[in-house]
Structure 1
Amino acid sequence: MAIEDDDRPRRKVTHEIGQDLALLSVEELAERIALMTSEIERLQAAMSKKRASRDAANSIFKT
């Protein structure tokens, strides 16, 4: 009995910077774009929190 495509466990989408993109389908490229976009948003949020913390500390210690 053949395994249906929907029954197969999906592998986790990962991306290595600089990897060869020639063998990826349009859908796989779209998944990677979504993955990287969400990671960029996560990094930007972390950066904003760190800046806010730094700015708060700087405002306390300014003379």
Structure 2
Amino acid sequence: MDLDEILAKKPGDPLTELVKQDLERLSVDELHERVAILERELSRTKQNIQRAVNHRASANDIFKT
């Protein structure tokens, strides 16, 4: 999926605003800090995905026929 397609669906969304930010104005230290924050958010998001997958798998096991 094209990034423009994703962003067009969510005007005002914080992620959309984040992606549109001008990185040229940031210092190297600020860019490193941004990367660290984004890596933590990526990890948190992946953990949430795994919880959802595990939850669904558990539900499917319960309701197997």
* TM score, norm. by length of structure 2: 0.70
Please tell me whether Structure 1 or Structure 2 has the larger radius of gyration of its CA atoms.
1
More helix by share: 2
SS in 1 for 2:20: coil
**CA-CA distance at 1:34 after TM superposition:** 0.3
> What fraction of aligned residue pairs are identical, expressed as a percent?
41
**RMSD of the alignment, in Å?**
1.3
Report the counterpart of residue 38 of structure 1 in structure 2: 40
Aligned residues: 49
Where do 1:4-23 residues align within 5 Å?
16-23=18-25
Relative contact order: is structure 1 or structure 2 higher (C-alpha 8 Å, sep ≥ 6)? 1
Over 4 Å off, 4+ runs: none
Structure 1 residues without counterparts, runs of 5 or longer = 1-14
**CA-CA distance at 1:21 after TM superposition:** 0.8
